[in-house]
Each structure stands twice: as C-alpha cells, then as structure tokens.
Amino acid sequence: MTSSARAADAGADQLPAMFQRYRADIADALRGGLSLGEIPVYDMLRYYMGWVDSDGNPCEATQGKALRPTLCLFGCEAVGGSAGSALPAAVALEFIHNFSLVHDDIQDEDETRHHRLTLWAAWDVPRALQAGNVLRVVADRALERLLDGGMDYGQAVGIARMLTGAYLDMIEGQWLDISYEGRRDIAIDDYMVMISKKTGALIRCSLDMGVAIGTTDEAAIRAFRSFGRSVGYAFQIRDDSLGVWGEEETTGKPVGADIRRKKNSLPIVYTMARADGADRRELERVYGKEGLDDGDVSLVLDVMERVDARGYSQRLAERHCASALDAVAGVEMAATVREEIEELVQFLLVRER
C-alpha cells in the first residue's frame, strides 16, 4: 500500500508521521521563545498558543498543526541537512504565522479559534493588536539563534531576508483579501494572486528556508520552491472549502462562516462567476444585504450546489497537489522521504480541519 493510500485509510484528521516526529522539538523551542517575557502580554501570547488559560494557569488547549515549522524541518532533512540546524527558522515561521492570525481574527471579527476565544474577544482589540506586534518581533529574535548554532553570518542574513520578504507578501495578501470583501466582481485569477501571497508566501518560505539551510544544491532549492508554491495553493483551496462546508466541531468555526461575512473565498468567487439567471439575481440580492441570516446562507449553499462549486474546488486542489509532486519528481532523495511527501500531499487534499 502506498503512503498516500495509508493516509486516506487513516482518515482525514490523521496527521502525517512527520508532524509527530518534529512536534516535541517545535513545542519546546516555541515555549523557550516566549519564556523570558514577564509582563501580561506574554501571558496573552501563551494563551493564544494554547499553553495557559486566560488567567495564566497551565492548560492543554487545542493547538494548530504547526504546518510551517514542520515543513521547514522536513525540507531541511529531505535534502540531507540536520533538522536541528533549521529549528530557529521553524520557530520564527510559527511565530510569524500566529502573529498574522492574531491580526486576522481582529480584521475578520472572529471570536473563536481552536474552540476558544481569540485574543481580542478575550481581552480587547488594542491589547490584541499589541500582542500580535510583540509576537512579530519575537519571531525576528528567534532567527538570531541561527548564529548561535554556528551558521555563517552571511547565510543567516539571507535566511532572514527570505522570512522578511515572505511575511511582507503575506501582509499584502491579507490586505487584498480584506479589500475584496463585499465585492462581487473578483475573478478567479485575482483570487489566485491573493492566496499566493496571503497563504502561499509563508508556506513557500517554510520550504525555502529549510532546504536552503540543508543544501546548496540550486536545483533542489528550485524544485522545493515550486513544490511549496503548489502546496500553498492546495492548502488554501482546501481551507476555503472547509470555510463553507466544514463542520464546526472539527474546524472550530461556525458552518458557512465565510458566506455569512461575504468573504471572497474560492467557492464564492467561482459561484459568482458561474451563476446566471435567477440564481445570479438571488446572489446579488443576498450579497447586497447588510447582514446575512441562516436563510441567506442556505440559499447561497443551494446555488453553490447547482454550479458544483465544491467539486470545482476539490478538482483544482487535486491539480495543484499533482503539480507539487511533479515539481520534486527529479530530486534525488530516499524512498522514505518521497513516501512522506506523498503522504503530506494526500493529507492536505482531504484534511477536515
């Protein structure tokens, strides 16, 4: 049985083995990165990471998958490097990702993430904004540990530039995403450019940084960059599907949340482009309202069903997953590494959260 078949048999919620392999090292390094701060903002950040409750007492709350740091460490090992040498970069990536989520929650007015209150909902918007800003700087400081590990200064500067460029792209993508909300003229090409920045940039960077730390082979670096680009598309497309059809107990967000706030995710952009006649008129009426109720959400879901928005989204994700595998087909690597790549791609295609 292939690794991709094993992933499918294990279920969409079963994380690939690589996530478990790196989990403890990532967790320890993340905790270390937030261990020195003593003012209450650090308790807010530890709460957001799922380590303490809102009063600062230790707890084990639902946490994220740590996709980006895992990709960074895996990319480094895949090309023959040591995962430990890439750990500072992996930690910085996860802090930057969470910095973006803190601000994203505010911008989208999301009150819950991972089944608990977001920072702005648990405290307030001003303090949540500052907590996010602190986390961004903590991420920059985490990269300094590359030098502690003996990395050449010039190489460390190059790695830092990769991350800075990626999170600038990420912020630009988030700005585009916000600017698209409420509009009904967004083309699929516009959407693809936006997600290549908002989500794709940091995922690409995860592999860029890890592979660049692990090897100087330019062909391998280019191949994994292309792999990361395609994986980034597939990840966000699946995320958009979950934002419409995902179950609340699994995703931690209400069903149809993206429809309710008129977010231009792929299923909605595609539906707007394909619907005509009475369906198009109904969509225009619903999206012209100030706020959407349960009936409006059901109507939009019905139109999506008629234009097969769900099927289109899945087929597009599958196409990008195939492109990801093609990108690294020519890279020399161990058979076990290639199997893990296939398992990862399959997981991203069918995940439920």
What does the pLDDT look like over 176-187, one tens digit per residue? 988 888 788 899
What does the pLDDT look like over 239-278, one tens digit per residue? 999 989 987 666 556 667 788 888 889 999 999 999 999 9
What does the pLDDT look like over 202-244, one tens digit per residue? 999 999 999 999 999 999 999 999 999 999 999 999 999 998 9
Helices (H), the chain: 3-10, 17-33, 40-48, 67-78, 83-108, 119-122, 125-142, 145-148, 153-180, 188-198, 200-214, 218-245, 248-251, 257-260, 266-274, 277-287, 294-307, 309-327, 335-350
What CA–CA distance (Å, rounded) separates 62 from 116?
8
What CA–CA distance (Å, rounded) separates 214 from 337?
14
* CB-CB contact of 207 with 225 (8 Å): yes
Angle subtended by helix axes 153-180 and 83-108, to nearest 10: 20
User: What does pLDDT average to over the chain?
Assistant: 90
Q: What is the CATH number of the domain that holds 25?
A: 1.10.600.10
**Count of domains for the chain:** 1
Print the domain residue range for 163.
Answer: 3-350
Q: What are phi and psi of 117, to 5 degrees?
A: -60, 140
